[in-house]
Structure 1
Amino acid sequence: MLAGPAGAQEQPAGERPGDTAAAAGVGWSVKATGADARFRGLSAVSRSTAWVSGSKGTVLRTVDGGRSWQNVSPPAAAGLELRDIEAFDARRAVALSIGEGEDSRIFRTEDGGASWTETFRNPEPRAFYDCLTFFDHRNGLAMSDPVDGKFRILSTADGGRSWRVLPNAGMPDALPGEAGFAASGQCLVSAGPRDVWLATGGGAVARIMHSGDRGLTWTVTDAPVPGGDPARGVFGLAFRDRDHGLSVGGDYRTGQPSPQAAARSGDGGRTWRSSAVPPAAYRSGVTWVPFLRSVALAVGPTGTDVTLDGGATWRPLDAGSFDTVDCAPQGVAACWASGEKGRVGRLEKL
């Protein structure tokens, strides 16, 4: 589902993003990318290496902490929307373009983006792929909006070189109007060797699905993030391990409130609790900060929020616009965010 841009929403009275940033001692250092694409796809490899993907078929890569960026866009992706990218290291990455029918494609590189191979082109006109995730360097999944009343799951066992559609017998029926949001590459996320979660919106309620067998069978639960409208639902998920998860979302439309825009789970997504103090506005991306078990970041067009208590309460960190956020397992300095007008930032000490 193509997620439209969200407009600005006011910060609540008395909230000053700089206060929390100063208290935390860190903030986003925006890096000059030389691009004007909107980067909704992001994969943090390390403090020095990150990949971003987005509009106009654009892929950029840095290997020096964002000081310089290489345009490594796949030539065959020109004009496509590359909404998700998953990188294994500085040389290997898999990128997903979204859209109906053949606009949904998957590309793979093994040489840092010097060359790309198209490894999947969607032949089903009713399918619309939104997100992808990998359990390890070989096994991964991609998800499509419902076809014949059920979400469609694509699987690879060779690092994205080939793909097959999984049988849908273990997938619950979709609600009328239910779909995923291709807003941040986080509507499908994994943790560990077999567990994967899928976020939805657009239906009567927002829902989160879980599979413990790499997408063959699924359970589903209602999320407290409001649904009931094509513009509302869960936009991003993050799991620290197979038990502890965060969800963010809301209503992406300009001027629309987004109450209860975040929730948390401590039982692998079987149940979800609304954050006591959620972000004040729609958020599309979320990530746990490595080595700080209760710390996470959530981003959206109106800013970044931080939680220090595992998602129970959130406070503003920064007012800049980002669409997605990701941290590599190297600590705070390996956290990256990306978004509109070529914006990419890395978390650094103030």
Structure 2
Amino acid sequence: MKAMGKTRRLMSLGLCGAAVTAVLAAPSVQAVPSALSARTVGDAAGAQQRGPGWALADTGTDARFRGLAAVSRSAAWVAGSRGTVLRTGDGGRHWRDVSPDGAAELEFRDIEAFDERRAVALAIGEGEASRVFRTDDGGATWTESFRNTDARAFYDCLTFFDSRHGLAMSDPVDGRFRILSTADGGRNWRVLPDAGMPAARPGEAGFAASGQCLVSSGGKDVWLATGGAATARVLHSGDRGLTWTEAAVTIPAGDPARGVFGLAFRDRTHGIAVGGDYRADQASPEAAAVTGDGGRSWRRASVPPVAYRSGAAWLPHSRSSAVAVGPTGTDLTRDGGRTWRTVDTGSYDSVDCAPRGGCWASGEKGRVARMR
């Protein structure tokens, strides 16, 4: 248990000594280009399309934002270090600090928003550091709806199927991942029975790196990403977390710093997994995988991202285009995740797209950007 606790802390912080050095050496916000290059992307027939572009916003803080929720082209929420939560309603021109009172010692790693006024945020950590907060008034006030009292639990990510039903996941307790459930929009939570959860592998845990280690699509399907064990896995439930199946993923694991860090599903069958090794001095040669059968099987990307990636999102109104982000850049796929190309070198931890349009990315040193 002591070794697992160390693994949890390492994964959840997402940083080791080498990675810290890399972060400190990374360009400042001012030094990083404010948009993806406007290079032209052509298909085999020579037809051309403009690539997407990131427009950096001034958030007025140096907090690291791993939690991100895109509401629309104009509205988004971010949540991060030092208990910081920000919200914009004008496309990122202005950001309002709506951090919960007394949360300065907490680390927010995930936030899910239903609209500009309603959101649920997850703080991560061992024991009582793992908490859930909910707001119904745009962050003017927050209610702490869950505080973990089990010292063995460490919550990493949360997801919602709709405005009422949602789940949060913890690293293994008693040999199985623990699932927390709500049926009233995050106001109340209960731990689900673990009889339908496959046993965790030695050293296995989740990564609280981008809020994407637990994702859902539709009304009942949810996927959970793992790393740290000999093989990375994605677990799938088709009944809102009561029973689960497991599948190995081609992204290398076998170390507490390696595995699947983020998932994105455009429907209940087509998904992308990204990850690798988050240490800056380690290569991530197979950092992406794809599935076309709901996660029952995964195949490696034939041309993967060039480095570790922590988050991914399907572009709105597209059945084949998606982006993946990480500390060293953004990659774009036009063929459903089979091949990727780097289109930006700015540092981001998470990316999210609203269903009706509007994509956002967030990361270190207060970096938040909107796709142009």
- TM-score interval for Structure 1 and Structure 2 normalised by the shorter chain: over 0.9
Residue 326 of structure 2 corresponds to residue 300 of structure 1: yes
Superposed counterparts of 1:1-350, under 5 Å: 1=8, 2-5=12-15, 6=19, 7=22, 18=37, 20=39, 24-331=50-357, 334-348=358-372
| 1:56 alignment partner, SS class | helix
Q: Number of matched residues?
A: 340
> 1:188-242 CA deviation, whole Å, 9 max, x = no partner?
0000000000000001110000000000000001100000000000000000000
| 1:341 alignment partner, SS class | helix
TM-fit CA distance, 1:21: 6.6
Whole-Å separation in 1 of the counterparts to 2:265 and 2:119: 21
TM-fit CA distance, 1:77: 1.7
Amino acid at match of 2:72: S
Unaligned 5+ runs, structure 2: 1-7, 26-35, 42-48
Query: Percent same amino acid among aligned pairs?
Result: 71
Amino acid at match of 2:231: V
> 1:150-202 CA deviation, whole Å, 9 max, x = no partner?
00000000000000000000000000110000000000000000000000000
Whole-Å separation in 2 of the counterparts to 1:258 and 1:170: 33
Whole-Å separation in 1 of the counterparts to 2:153 and 2:215: 19
| 2:65 alignment partner, SS class | coil
| 2:138 alignment partner, SS class | coil
Q: Could you say which residue in structure 1 is the equivalent of 2:3?
A: none
Q: Structure 1's 25 and 254: CA in aligned 2 closer, same or farther, altered over 3 A?
A: closer
Q: Could you say which residue in structure 1 is the equivalent of 2:45?
A: none
Moved over 6 A (4+): none
Q: Give me the CA root mean square deviation.
A: 1.5
Unaligned 5+ runs, structure 1: 10-16
Q: Give the alignment's TM-score, normalised by structure 2.
A: 0.89
Q: Give the alignment's TM-score, normalised by structure 1.
A: 0.95
Whose relative contact order is higher, 1 or 2, with alpha carbons under 8 Å and at least 6 apart?
Answer: 1
Whole-Å separation in 2 of the counterparts to 1:20 and 1:294: 19
TM-fit CA distance, 1:19: 6.5
